[in-house]
């Protein structure tokens, strides 16, 4: 009887929420978060863009144009944005920040997956170049420089967590500010002061899949993706720390859960018909689903312990999402059906706010409040630099010979 009551209640809840179309009223974020989200960085910082040889960026892209559309493409679009940004200065002596345009993830396998193995040597080569040709790196050993490093585990430069942890952040980047998709508290691959950003999702592609805003949300829980990675984790349990496997084993036959490994052509449309979209960790805690859920107004259900979310000082993730501990995945149905309809509707109203969607996207051309501007806001909030970042003459902090032997080979 208890189980029957639960299903009657759950179906009733879905019916009530589904009756509310996508076109819910918007709600502005109250308090400091909303104000920060709408900050304008122009006039608050100046960025000098190093003019590097094209082998570090444009030629790499010419070899493989697929880099323009993969989830790590923020490094390319940030470069293009800064070249024409009003925060750019051509006078390095007046710069607050220095940016080194290097495309460290644009080395793809035939399947389109980025190979990080050349990245450390490429990065070392670029830093050797700027430290030899300009005086600015040597003043601070990178403490007033920022780098975009959108690999799975940022500047640890490996896609498997154990090996990324063993490597650690490239020693030459220890004083720099890292702009990265990876974010997890108490993790060696996330330095204090790093700026966590969303992965790249093609804005135009997403725009072409928009459905009428009055379409009801008739799917309660939606997910498409791997539950097991048999190629890289044949015994199971390591991939996604077992969280995705737990989703499948507990809810594959649950009528409230529309989950599958299939990736239909209607994927984006389906997200716009869903109330909750699962955003579990994979090999790393982040994925493009987080961006897709926010843009399409589907409440993100974040299953990734200790995750550091993009622009967390500007986006009120606790108010727009649902957090579920990895150990509680087996209770997902109870957790989600226990959320009162008025709470769900408020999350949907916040998600409907255009400023929320813009902050997660890298549009071309750039728009006020988009992810480019959120990155600049993050950099502006770190100013002015402390006097301690400036080294004494001939003072050295970084060890140029530290790290794996393979990283020290010329690039």
Segment 346-394, tens digit of pLDDT:
999 999 999 999 999 999 999 999 999 999 999 999 999 999 999 998 8
H/E segment holding residue 222 = strand 219-224
374, 375, 376, 382: CA torsion to nearest 10:
110
Domain locations along the chain: 42-200+372-384, 203-361
Task: Provide the CB-side half-sphere exposure for 312 (13 A, CA).
Answer: 14
Phi-psi region of 311 (alpha: psi -120 to 50; beta: other; left: phi over 0): left
pLDDT at 1: 42
Q: Which residues pair with 300 in a beta bridge?
A: 277
pLDDT at 4: 39
Separation CA 400–CA 173 (nearest Å): 10
**Which contacts of 314-317 are long-range, i.e. CB under 8 A and separated by 24 or more positions?**
314/33, 314/36, 314/37, 314/39, 314/359, 314/374, 314/377, 315/33, 315/37, 315/356, 315/359, 315/360, 316/29, 316/33, 316/34, 316/350
| The predicted structure's pLDDT at residue 402 | 92
Q: Which DSSP state fits 181?
A: S
Give the pLDDT of residue 187. Answer: 97
Predicted local distance difference test score (pLDDT) of residue 31: 53
Structure confidence at residue 251 (pLDDT): 98
Is residue 202 within 8 A of residue 192, CB to CB? The reply is no
Sign of the C-alpha dihedral, residues 34, 36, 37, 43?
positive
How do strand 177-180 and strand 195-196 relate by DSSP bridges? parallel
| pLDDT on residue 24 | 65
How many Cβ atoms are within 10 Å of 188's Cβ, its own excluded? 14
**Residue with tokens 């994979």, as numbered in its chain:** 282
Spatial separation of the C-alpha atoms in residues 285 and 182, rounded to whole Å? 7
pLDDT, position 249: 96
Show the DSSP H helices in 233-311 as ranges: 243-251, 267-272, 289-295
Interatomic CA distance for residues 257 and 194, integer angstroms: 36
Query: What pLDDT is stored for residue 231 in this prediction?
Result: 84
Closest CA to 372 of 52, 45, 85: 85
- The CATH architecture of the domain made up of 203-361 is 3-Layer(aba) Sandwich (3.40)
pLDDT value of position 35? 62
Give the integer Cα–Cα distance in Å for 240 and 247: 11
Q: What are phi and psi of 179, to 5 degrees?
A: -100, 110
| Under-50 pLDDT residues of the chain | 1-9, 11-12, 15, 19-20
Can you give the pTM of this predicted structure?
0.92
**CB distance 122 to 104 below 8 Å:** yes
């Amino acid at each position: 009887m208890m189980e029957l009551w639960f299903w009657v209640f759950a179906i009733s809840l879905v019916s009530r929420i589904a009756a509310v179309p996508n076109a819910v009223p918007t709600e502005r974020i109250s308090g400091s978060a909303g104000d920060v989200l709408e900050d304008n960085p122009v006039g608050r910082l100046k960025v000098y863009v190093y003019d590097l040889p094209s082998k570090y960026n444009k030629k790499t892209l010419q070899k493989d144009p697929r880099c323009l559309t993969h989830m790590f493409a923020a490094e390319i679009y940030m470069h293009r944005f800064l070249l024409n940004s009003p925060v750019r200065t051509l006078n390095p002596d007046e710069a607050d920040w220095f940016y080194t345009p290097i495309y460290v993830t644009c080395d793809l396998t035939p399947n389109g997956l980025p190979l990080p193995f050349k990245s450390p040597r490429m990065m070392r080569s670029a830093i050797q170049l700027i430290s030899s040709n300009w005086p600015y790196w040597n003043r601070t050993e990178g403490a007033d420089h920022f780098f975009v490093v959108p690999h799975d585990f940022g500047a640890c430069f490996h896609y498997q967590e154990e090996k990324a942890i063993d490597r650690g952040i490239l020693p030459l980047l220890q004083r720099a500010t890292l702009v990265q998709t990876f974010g997890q508290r108490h993790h060696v691959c996330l330095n204090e002061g790093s700026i966590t950003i969303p992965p790249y999702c093609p804005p135009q592609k997403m725009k072409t899949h928009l459905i009428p805003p009055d379409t009801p949300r008739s799917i309660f829980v939606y997910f498409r993706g791997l539950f097991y990675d048999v190629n890289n984790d044949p015994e199971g349990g390591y991939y996604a720390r077992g969280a995705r496997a737990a989703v499948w084993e507990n809810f594959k036959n649950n009528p409230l859960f529309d989950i599958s490994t299939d990736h239909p052509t209607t994927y984006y449309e389906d997200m716009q018909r869903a109330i909750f979209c699962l955003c579990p960790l994979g090999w790393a805690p982040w994925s493009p689903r987080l961006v897709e859920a926010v843009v399409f107004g589907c409440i993100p259900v974040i299953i990734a312990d200790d995750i550091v979310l993009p622009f967390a000082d500007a986006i009120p993730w606790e108010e727009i999402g649902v957090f579920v501990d990895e150990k509680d995945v087996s209770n997902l149905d109870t957790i989600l059906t226990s959320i009162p309809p008025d709470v769900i509707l408020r999350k949907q109203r916040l998600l409907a706010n255009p400023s929320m969607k813009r902050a997660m996207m890298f549009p071309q051309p750039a728009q006020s409040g988009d992810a480019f501007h959120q990155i600049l806001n993050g950099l502006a909030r770190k100013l002015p630099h402390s006097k301690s970042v400036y080294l004494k003459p001939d003072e050295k902090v970084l060890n140029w010979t530290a790290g794996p032997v393979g990283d020290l080979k010329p690039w």
